[in-house]
Each structure stands twice: as structure tokens, then as C-alpha cells.
């Protein structure tokens, strides 16, 4: 009698639905379009399913690029000093050429978010800076929304054990998988219809915000009294968006946010984080920032503050805002009560702001604006883009018009 293979803790039907949603909703991949895909080697089961759905949709060529946690750690423990000021620019130049030729971009998140927690933070910072600079030609194609792109996630064992440290490995992976499937709306009979309805709801929110055309948002709550000026000619977006290549895609799966570009020079007051931020292997807790004239002039945290300040010294734009996003406290990810240690999920549990690079597409006529025009309208430029959470059931947000009149946007973390 043949022995049965052990049951996988990851539901294969839901994993296949996630792959289908990534191609048909996340990317809306077109016939003949190439796909550049990055993923940890642990996510190979999802990569294989994505490739199958991509080719069924008519993809020209699917090219995966893999990373591996053990190889990453080997560099930090064995590489010469000079290694940490280098990055594979040749690889990113090739990706940029692919995007210039209209290839789509898909990233699978799944690495252990605390992988580098015990490594030299100076080396981590140097390596990240070198990587950011080398990746810039490819990243600009994404932040400028030249192409259709998407991020989804895979429940690797190392990530699952961070989220559920007290569970056996298989149980932790199963629990994280189910949380990812639920947040990604693939645990229902028809995920594509579910995404169609969700995108319509997000569109109703950002349409109302665009009609109001607020000059600023004012946040109040425990440890928070912050006025975020909005960029001139800003445009709110959320869910599905049309890229410059004419393809409508959902860049983030999951997503619960509507977002726009703040004015880099018009942010004043103080704000306190409502959730920890996992960044570069460090869990940064209780972030507090004070802004003057758009710049974060005081940055504190109960732990991880040194790492955060080092990142914010990357360049002039790193201490200014590049994104402001609204998320109701009752979002499904917030209701899960989980800290995912992954910004893609944690940012969708609460309203948030991002330090660094703005999204050029969050402007009226943004597809035709030059970087200089975007900067003139208040858009920020930086090598970094780091989201951190400032929303909760205790935060109120008002929309402020240019004449000073106010409209309630959120009360106690919910849409007013």
C-alpha cells in the first residue's frame, strides 16, 4: 500500500486562487506581455502557480528572480567590508529595460521580516542604501506608474514563526496562510467578483475626497496633533488604477487604503505611531515625530530609534512625507488583531503616512508631469519610502479647505 504524502498546511485551492487573482486582478496581465517576478525561494509553490496562470493569460515570457534567506545571511557573516557598498546594478538596469519595454512587475513578499535583526545595523544600512541607489532606474518605472505592477504574499515558515511564535511550524504556516488568503479576498467562492465590489467601494471613498479637494488634513488623538498639507493638484486613489501603459491593475493585494500625495513643505505638528514598524530586521516601537515646515525635526522611538534615524538620514527627502493614506479602523486586517511584521499588511490595518518618495500618479495629469513639475507642486523625492501607522479607534481626522472651513473625514477611526 502506497504511503500518503503529508498534508500541506497551505490550502492548495486557495493558493491557486491567489495566483489567479495576482494575474487577473493584481496585474490584469495582457496577451504577449512579459512578466518580471521576484520572490524568496520558499515561495516557489506560488511562483509556479502564478507562471501557469500568466501563460494561460497569454504572457510572452515569465522571468522569476529568486532570493534566499541563507544566502543573504551568508553575506552579512562572511563578505568583505566592500561588499556592503555594492548592489547588482546590472540586474536592475536589465529590469528597467524590461519595464521600458512594457514588461509587468510582480513581487512576492514572504521573507522573514526580522531576518537581519542580529546583523550589524551599519552594514544593513549601507547595503540598503547601495541597493536603493542601484534600483532607482527600475523603481522609477514603478513609482511613476509606467507599468502594471502588483505585490502578493506567501506564508513562508520563517515569517509564520515571527507572527505565531508559540505555534508548531505547520500550525503557524497554516494560520498565516489563512490570514493572507482572508486579507487577499481569495477565501470566497468568487474572488474576482469580491475584488470588483471592493474596488467599487474604494472608488466611492476617493471620489468623495477628490470632490472635496481639501487643502490639508488635520489629525487629533492621543499624542497626535498633526496638520498634513496636501500637494497642489493632488489626486486621491485606491484599489484599481490605470497605469501609463493603459492597463488597470491593483498594485497591492491586500489593500484597504485610499491615498494621495502630501505637500513636502506643508506638514506641521506632532504625531505618535499606533502600531510598531518592522524595518530592516528591527521592530521600531512607539515612534513619535514632530514636523516643522514639512520636515521631521524630532524623531523618537522606545526601541529601534537609532535604526529609524539612520534610515531618515538617507537623503534630504527622507525626513519629509511622500504619502498619506486613510484606512478605517474596522478594516479586516485590523480586525484580525495580528501584527504581520510586514508593511503590506500592517499598513492596511490603520491610517498611515510614509516618509520619502511620493507617487507621481497621485496628481491631476500626473502621467504627463515631469519630476520637476511634481516637485514644484509639493511632491517629495527620496530613495526611501517607509509607511508607518498613525490611525486607531481614538483618532479623528478633519478635511480642511483653503478658506479654513472643515469637514469631518474620520471619527474614532471610522469614515464620518
pLDDT of residue 4: 56
- Read off the DSSP letter of residue 8: P
Rounded CA-CA distance 241/255 in Å is: 12
Kindly report, residue by residue over 243-257, the tens digit of the pLDDT.
999 999 999 999 999
121 close to 76: Cβ distance less than 8 angstroms = no
- Residue 193 class from Cβ within 10 Å (0-12 exposed, 13-18 middle, 19+ buried)? exposed
Q: What is the rounded average pLDDT of the residues 405-412?
A: 97
Does residue 2 have a pLDDT over 70?
A: no
Label residue 360 by pLDDT band (50, 70, 90): confident
279 close to 341: Cβ distance less than 8 angstroms = no
- Read off the DSSP letter of residue 381: -
The x, y and z cell numbers of residue 124, run together, are 544593513
pLDDT of residue 3: 53
Residue 330: CB partners within 8 Å, gap ≥ 6? 413, 414
Q: What is the rounded average pLDDT of the residues 207-218?
A: 97
Q: What is the rounded average pLDDT of the residues 113-132?
A: 90
- How far apart, in Å, are the Cα atoms of 323 and each of 53, 91, 351? 32, 28, 11
pLDDT of residue 7: 79
- How far apart, in Å, are the Cα atoms of 272 and each of 27, 294, 347, 349? 35, 16, 15, 16
Q: What is the rounded average pLDDT of the residues 134-150?
A: 91
The x, y and z cell numbers of residue 358, run together, are 511620493
Strands (E), 91-215: 104-109, 149-153
According to DSSP, the residues that pair with 105 across neighbouring strands are 36, 149
pLDDT of residue 338: 92
Residue 399: CB partners within 8 Å, gap ≥ 6? 209, 212, 214, 216, 217, 406, 407, 408, 409
Rounded CA-CA distance 71/77 in Å is: 10
Q: Which residue has the cell 464620518?
A: 416
Does residue 1 have a pLDDT over 80?
A: no
Q: Give the rounded percent of residues in the chain with a pLDDT score beyond 90.
A: 85
pLDDT of residue 361: 84
The x, y and z cell numbers of residue 34, run together, are 512579459
- Each domain of the chain, given as residue ranges in start order, spans 12-183, 213-415
Choose the weakest-confidence range: 86-90, 172-176, 249-253, 362-366. Answer: 362-366
| DSSP-based three-state secondary structure for 346 | helix
Helices (H), 41-148: 44-56, 69-78, 89-100, 121-143
What CATH code is assigned to 12-183? 3.40.1830.10
Does residue 110 have a pLDDT over 60?
A: yes
Amino acid at each position: 500500500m502506497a504511503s500518503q504524502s503529508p498534508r500541506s498546511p497551505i490550502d492548495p485551492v486557495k493558493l491557486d486562487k491567489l495566483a489567479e487573482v495576482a494575474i487577473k486582478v493584481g496585474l490584469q496581465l495582457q496577451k504577449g506581455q512579459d512578466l518580471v517576478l521576484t520572490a524568496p525561494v520558499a515561495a516557489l509553490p506560488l511562483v509556479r502557480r502564478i507562471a501557469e496562470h500568466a501563460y494561460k493569460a497569454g504572457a510572452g515570457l515569465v522571468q522569476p528572480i529568486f532570493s534566499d534567506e541563507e544566502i543573504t545571511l551568508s553575506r552579512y557573516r562572511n563578505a568583505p567590508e566592500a561588499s556592503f557598498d555594492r548592489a547588482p546594478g546590472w540586474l536592475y538596469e536589465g529590469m528597467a529595460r524590461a519595464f521600458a519595454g512594457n514588461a509587468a512587475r510582480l513581487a512576492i513578499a514572504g521573507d522573514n521580516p526580522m531576518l537581519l535583526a542580529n546583523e550589524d545595523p551599519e552594514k544593513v544600512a549601507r547595503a540598503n542604501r547601495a541597493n536603493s541607489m542601484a534600483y532607482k532606474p527600475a523603481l522609477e518605472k514603478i513609482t511613476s506608474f509606467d507599468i502594471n505592477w502588483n505585490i502578493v504574499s506567501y506564508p513562508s515558515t520563517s515569517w509564520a514563526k515571527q507572527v505565531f511564535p508559540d505555534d508548531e511550524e505547520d500550525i503557524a504556516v497554516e494560520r498565516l496562510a489563512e490570514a493572507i488568503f482572508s486579507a487577499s479576498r481569495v477565501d470566497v467562492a468568487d474572488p474576482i467578483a469580491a475584488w470588483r465590489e471592493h474596488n467599487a467601494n474604494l472608488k466611492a471613498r476617493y471620489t468623495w475626497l477628490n470632490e472635496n479637494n481639501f487643502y490639508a488634513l488635520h489629525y487629533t488623538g492621543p499624542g497626535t496633533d498633526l496638520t498634513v498639507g496636501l500637494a497642489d493638484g493632488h489626486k486621491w486613489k485606491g484599489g484599481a488604477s490605470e497605469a501609463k501603459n493603459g492597463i488597470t491593475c491593483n498594485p497591492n493585494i491586500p489593500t484597504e487604503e485610499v491615498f494621495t500625495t502630501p505637500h513636502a513643505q506643508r506638514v506641521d505638528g506632532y504625531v505618535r505611531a499606533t502600531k510598531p514598524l518592522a524595518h530592516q530586521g528591527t521592530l521600531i516601537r512607539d515612534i513619535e515625530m514632530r514636523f516643522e515646515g514639512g520636515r521631521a525635526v524630532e524623531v523618537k522611538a522606545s526601541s529601534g530609534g537609532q535604526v529609524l534615524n539612520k534610515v531618515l538620514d538617507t537623503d534630504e527627502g527622507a525626513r519629509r512625507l511622500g504619502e498619506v493614506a486613510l484606512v478605517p479602523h474596522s478594516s479586516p486586517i485590523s480586525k484580525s488583531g495580528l501584527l504581520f511584521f510586514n508593511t503590506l499588511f500592517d499598513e492596511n490595518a490603520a491610517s498611515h503616512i510614509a516618509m520619502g518618495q511620493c507617487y507621481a500618479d497621485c496628481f491631476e495629469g500626473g502621467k504627463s508631469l515631469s519630476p520637476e513639475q511634481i516637485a514644484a507642486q509639493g511632491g517629495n523625492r527620496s530613495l526611501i519610502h517607509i509607511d508607518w501607522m498613525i490611525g486607531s479607534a481614538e483618532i479623528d481626522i478633519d478635511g480642511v479647505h483653503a478658506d479654513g472651513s472643515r469637514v469631518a473625514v474620520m471619527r474614532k477611526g471610522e469614515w464620518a
